[in-house]
Amino acid sequence: MALLVIDKLSKSYGTGHTKVEAVKNVSLRVVAGEIILIMGPSGSGKTTLLTIAGGLLKPTSGHVYIEGTCTTRLTEKELPHLRLTKLGFVFQSFNLLGALTAQENVALPLIATGMARAQALAKAKQSLEKFGLSNRLHHLPSALSGGEKQRVSTARAIVNDPAIIFADEPTANLDSKIGHEVMEMLCAIACREQRAVVIVSHDQRLEEIAHRVIEFEDGEIKSERAGKHGKTCQHTR
Protein backbone atom coordinates (compact mmCIF):
# COMPACT_ATOMS: atom_id res chain seq x y z
CA MET A 1 0.00 0.00 0.00
CA ALA A 2 1.24 3.48 -0.87
CA LEU A 3 1.78 5.55 2.25
CA LEU A 4 1.94 8.76 0.24
CA VAL A 5 0.04 9.49 -2.96
CA ILE A 6 0.40 12.84 -4.70
CA ASP A 7 -2.21 13.21 -7.41
CA LYS A 8 -2.00 15.92 -10.10
CA LEU A 9 -0.77 18.49 -7.62
CA SER A 10 -0.34 22.12 -8.65
CA LYS A 11 0.50 25.24 -6.71
CA SER A 12 0.56 28.74 -8.10
CA TYR A 13 1.05 32.17 -6.53
CA GLY A 14 -0.35 35.46 -7.77
CA THR A 15 -2.60 36.08 -10.78
CA GLY A 16 -2.35 37.37 -14.35
CA HIS A 17 1.13 38.57 -15.38
CA THR A 18 2.50 37.99 -11.89
CA LYS A 19 1.30 34.39 -11.69
CA VAL A 20 4.02 31.93 -10.72
CA GLU A 21 3.43 28.19 -11.00
CA ALA A 22 5.64 26.66 -8.33
CA VAL A 23 4.36 23.09 -8.80
CA LYS A 24 2.72 21.86 -12.01
CA ASN A 25 0.57 18.78 -12.18
CA VAL A 26 2.86 16.50 -10.15
CA SER A 27 1.90 12.92 -9.32
CA LEU A 28 3.90 10.55 -7.14
CA ARG A 29 3.45 7.40 -5.06
CA VAL A 30 5.70 6.35 -2.17
CA VAL A 31 5.37 2.98 -0.45
CA ALA A 32 6.47 1.81 2.98
CA GLY A 33 10.22 1.32 3.32
CA GLU A 34 10.92 3.42 0.24
CA ILE A 35 13.32 6.36 0.06
CA ILE A 36 12.55 8.97 -2.59
CA LEU A 37 15.12 11.64 -3.37
CA ILE A 38 13.81 14.77 -5.07
CA MET A 39 16.62 16.78 -6.62
CA GLY A 40 16.63 20.00 -8.55
CA PRO A 41 18.03 23.51 -8.67
CA SER A 42 17.07 26.19 -6.17
CA GLY A 43 13.64 27.62 -6.94
CA SER A 44 12.54 24.53 -8.85
CA GLY A 45 9.58 24.03 -6.49
CA LYS A 46 10.80 20.92 -4.67
CA THR A 47 10.46 22.45 -1.19
CA THR A 48 6.99 23.73 -2.11
CA LEU A 49 6.07 20.16 -3.07
CA LEU A 50 7.45 18.91 0.25
CA THR A 51 5.49 21.46 2.30
CA ILE A 52 2.25 20.64 0.47
CA ALA A 53 2.83 16.89 0.90
CA GLY A 54 3.62 17.56 4.56
CA GLY A 55 0.29 19.29 5.13
CA LEU A 56 1.90 22.68 5.72
CA LEU A 57 0.62 24.38 2.59
CA LYS A 58 -2.61 24.08 0.61
CA PRO A 59 -2.29 23.24 -3.13
CA THR A 60 -4.06 25.21 -5.83
CA SER A 61 -5.35 21.93 -7.28
CA GLY A 62 -4.79 18.19 -6.94
CA HIS A 63 -4.73 16.02 -3.85
CA VAL A 64 -2.38 14.44 -1.34
CA TYR A 65 -3.27 11.14 0.33
CA ILE A 66 -1.46 9.95 3.42
CA GLU A 67 -2.29 6.36 4.37
CA GLY A 68 -5.48 6.79 2.33
CA THR A 69 -6.58 10.06 3.96
CA CYS A 70 -6.97 12.99 1.61
CA THR A 71 -5.05 15.68 3.50
CA THR A 72 -5.90 18.49 1.10
CA ARG A 73 -9.50 18.25 2.25
CA LEU A 74 -8.59 18.51 5.94
CA THR A 75 -9.25 21.79 7.75
CA GLU A 76 -6.57 23.98 9.33
CA LYS A 77 -7.63 22.57 12.69
CA GLU A 78 -7.29 18.94 11.53
CA LEU A 79 -3.91 19.28 9.82
CA PRO A 80 -1.77 19.70 12.99
CA HIS A 81 -3.06 16.37 14.29
CA LEU A 82 -2.21 14.69 10.99
CA ARG A 83 1.33 16.10 11.08
CA LEU A 84 1.68 15.05 14.70
CA THR A 85 0.62 11.46 14.21
CA LYS A 86 1.50 10.53 10.63
CA LEU A 87 4.44 12.72 9.62
CA GLY A 88 7.93 13.54 10.78
CA PHE A 89 10.14 16.40 9.62
CA VAL A 90 13.91 16.66 9.42
CA PHE A 91 15.12 20.16 8.65
CA GLN A 92 18.29 21.49 7.05
CA SER A 93 18.98 23.85 9.95
CA PHE A 94 17.86 21.26 12.55
CA ASN A 95 15.31 23.68 14.05
CA LEU A 96 15.79 22.53 17.61
CA LEU A 97 14.30 24.69 20.36
CA GLY A 98 17.17 26.56 22.00
CA ALA A 99 15.71 26.58 25.51
CA LEU A 100 15.22 22.81 25.63
CA THR A 101 17.70 19.99 26.14
CA ALA A 102 18.17 17.29 23.50
CA GLN A 103 15.85 14.99 25.45
CA GLU A 104 13.17 17.66 25.83
CA ASN A 105 13.37 18.53 22.12
CA VAL A 106 12.72 14.91 21.22
CA ALA A 107 9.90 14.72 23.77
CA LEU A 108 8.17 17.73 22.23
CA PRO A 109 5.91 15.87 19.72
CA LEU A 110 4.87 13.47 22.49
CA ILE A 111 4.01 16.41 24.75
CA ALA A 112 1.91 17.82 21.89
CA THR A 113 -0.13 14.61 21.85
CA GLY A 114 -0.94 15.16 25.51
CA MET A 115 1.45 12.54 26.92
CA ALA A 116 2.63 13.18 30.49
CA ARG A 117 6.02 14.90 30.62
CA ALA A 118 7.77 12.11 32.55
CA GLN A 119 6.53 9.46 30.13
CA ALA A 120 7.47 11.59 27.12
CA LEU A 121 10.96 12.17 28.49
CA ALA A 122 11.42 8.46 29.12
CA LYS A 123 10.43 7.64 25.55
CA ALA A 124 12.66 10.43 24.21
CA LYS A 125 15.56 9.01 26.20
CA GLN A 126 15.08 5.59 24.58
CA SER A 127 14.92 7.20 21.16
CA LEU A 128 18.11 9.20 21.71
CA GLU A 129 19.90 6.10 23.01
CA LYS A 130 19.11 4.39 19.71
CA PHE A 131 20.82 7.28 17.94
CA GLY A 132 23.89 6.97 20.18
CA LEU A 133 23.18 10.13 22.12
CA SER A 134 22.72 8.72 25.62
CA ASN A 135 25.51 10.99 26.87
CA ARG A 136 23.92 14.13 25.35
CA LEU A 137 20.43 13.91 26.86
CA HIS A 138 20.71 17.02 28.99
CA HIS A 139 22.72 19.14 26.60
CA LEU A 140 21.20 22.26 25.07
CA PRO A 141 21.39 22.50 21.25
CA SER A 142 24.10 25.16 21.61
CA ALA A 143 26.34 22.50 23.20
CA LEU A 144 25.81 19.91 20.45
CA SER A 145 27.78 19.40 17.21
CA GLY A 146 26.05 19.65 13.81
CA GLY A 147 25.81 15.88 13.48
CA GLU A 148 24.42 15.52 16.99
CA LYS A 149 21.84 18.20 16.29
CA GLN A 150 20.71 16.42 13.14
CA ARG A 151 20.48 13.13 15.04
CA VAL A 152 18.35 14.85 17.70
CA SER A 153 16.21 16.37 14.93
CA THR A 154 15.78 12.93 13.35
CA ALA A 155 14.97 11.33 16.70
CA ARG A 156 12.32 14.01 17.18
CA ALA A 157 10.93 13.29 13.69
CA ILE A 158 10.35 9.60 14.41
CA VAL A 159 9.51 9.62 18.13
CA ASN A 160 5.77 9.67 17.40
CA ASP A 161 6.14 6.66 15.10
CA PRO A 162 5.09 8.47 11.90
CA ALA A 163 4.46 6.69 8.58
CA ILE A 164 6.35 9.21 6.47
CA ILE A 165 9.49 11.25 7.11
CA PHE A 166 10.06 14.41 5.11
CA ALA A 167 13.67 15.54 5.12
CA ASP A 168 14.66 18.93 3.72
CA GLU A 169 18.39 19.09 2.83
CA PRO A 170 19.27 16.86 5.80
CA THR A 171 23.00 16.76 4.98
CA ALA A 172 23.49 20.33 3.79
CA ASN A 173 25.09 21.73 6.92
CA LEU A 174 27.20 18.67 7.70
CA ASP A 175 30.69 17.53 6.73
CA SER A 176 31.03 14.38 4.65
CA LYS A 177 31.55 11.99 7.58
CA ILE A 178 28.60 13.29 9.57
CA GLY A 179 26.56 13.56 6.36
CA HIS A 180 27.19 9.90 5.75
CA GLU A 181 26.04 9.06 9.29
CA VAL A 182 22.80 10.93 8.68
CA MET A 183 22.29 9.06 5.39
CA GLU A 184 22.77 5.78 7.22
CA MET A 185 20.28 6.87 9.80
CA LEU A 186 17.61 7.72 7.21
CA CYS A 187 18.28 4.47 5.38
CA ALA A 188 17.81 2.51 8.61
CA ILE A 189 14.56 4.33 9.36
CA ALA A 190 13.16 3.28 5.98
CA CYS A 191 14.49 -0.25 5.81
CA ARG A 192 14.23 -1.41 9.41
CA GLU A 193 11.14 0.50 10.46
CA GLN A 194 9.34 0.40 7.09
CA ARG A 195 8.66 4.11 6.99
CA ALA A 196 8.53 6.09 3.75
CA VAL A 197 11.26 8.72 3.52
CA VAL A 198 10.98 11.67 1.14
CA ILE A 199 14.17 13.69 0.85
CA VAL A 200 14.57 17.01 -0.91
CA SER A 201 18.20 17.86 -1.55
CA HIS A 202 20.97 19.09 -3.82
CA ASP A 203 23.37 16.56 -2.29
CA GLN A 204 24.07 13.83 -4.86
CA ARG A 205 25.57 11.55 -2.19
CA LEU A 206 22.01 10.89 -1.08
CA GLU A 207 21.43 8.92 -4.31
CA GLU A 208 23.29 6.08 -2.55
CA ILE A 209 20.40 5.50 -0.14
CA ALA A 210 17.51 6.40 -2.49
CA HIS A 211 15.33 3.81 -4.18
CA ARG A 212 14.22 6.38 -6.71
CA VAL A 213 15.65 9.75 -7.73
CA ILE A 214 13.30 12.37 -9.14
CA GLU A 215 14.73 15.32 -11.03
CA PHE A 216 12.57 18.36 -10.49
CA GLU A 217 12.72 21.51 -12.58
CA ASP A 218 10.39 24.48 -13.05
CA GLY A 219 7.80 22.83 -10.82
CA GLU A 220 7.66 19.64 -12.84
CA ILE A 221 9.11 16.16 -12.69
CA LYS A 222 11.64 16.14 -15.54
CA SER A 223 12.90 12.61 -15.05
CA GLU A 224 12.88 9.69 -12.71
CA ARG A 225 15.54 7.03 -12.29
CA ALA A 226 16.45 4.27 -9.91
CA GLY A 227 18.71 5.16 -6.97
CA LYS A 228 21.64 3.13 -5.66
CA HIS A 229 19.85 1.84 -2.60
CA GLY A 230 20.01 -1.81 -3.63
CA LYS A 231 23.76 -1.62 -4.08
CA THR A 232 24.71 0.17 -0.91
CA CYS A 233 22.12 -0.64 1.74
CA GLN A 234 23.48 -2.66 4.65
CA HIS A 235 20.16 -2.97 6.44
CA THR A 236 18.27 -5.30 4.12
CA ARG A 237 21.06 -7.82 3.62
Partner 1 sequence: MFWLAIRNLFQERTKLLITIGGVAFSVLLIVMLNGLYQGWNTMMGSYAASIEADLWVEQKGVGDMYHTLSFLPDDLEARLEQTPGVKNAFPYLGRSVLFTLNDKEVTLFIVGLNPTTGVGKPTMEKGTWQTLSAGEIIIDAAFARNNDVMVGDTLSIAERDFRVAGISNGGNLVTSQYAFIHFDDAKTLFQLGNKVNFYIVQLAAGASAATTEQAILDRFSDTNVLTKNEFVQKAKSVIQDTFLPIIFILDLIALLVGIAVIGLTTYSATIEKAREYGVMKAIGFNNRQLLTLVFYQALIAGLIGYAVGVALAFPIGIAGEQYASAFLTNIRPFDLAWVFGLTALMVLVAAYIPVRRISRIDPAEVFKN
Q: Which residues bind partner 1 (CB under 8 A)?
A: 47, 50-51, 54, 56-57, 77, 80-85, 87, 89, 91-93, 95, 97-100, 104, 108-109, 111-113, 117, 156, 160, 168-169
- Which residue number, 85 or 232, has a Cβ lying nearer to partner 1? 85
Give least dist CB 226 to partner 1, A.
27
Nearer to partner 1, 120 or 213 (CB): 120
Q: Using the 8-state DSSP alphabet, how is residue 163 labeled?
A: S
Minimum CB separation of residue 232 from partner 1 in Å reads 27
Minimum distance between the CB of residue 48 and partner 1, rounded to whole angstroms? 8
Helix H or strand E segment including 183: helix 176-193
For residue 198, give the amino acid letter: V
For partner 1, the closer CB: 51 or 127: 51
Instruction: Return the bridge partners of 63, or none.
Output: 7
Alpha-carbon distance of 131 to 195, in angstroms, equals: 17
Cβ–Cβ under 8 Å, residues 84 and 162: no
Nearer to partner 1, 31 or 112 (CB): 112
In angstroms, give the least distance from the CB of 193 to partner 1. 19
- The strand order across the sheet containing 196-201 reads 87-90, 164-168, 196-201, 35-39, 212-217, 220-226
> N- to C-terminal Cα distance for the chain?
23
Closest distance of CB 233 from partner 1, Å:
27
69, 60 in Cβ contact below 8 A?
A: no
Q: Which is nearer to partner 1, 31 or 115 (CB)?
A: 115
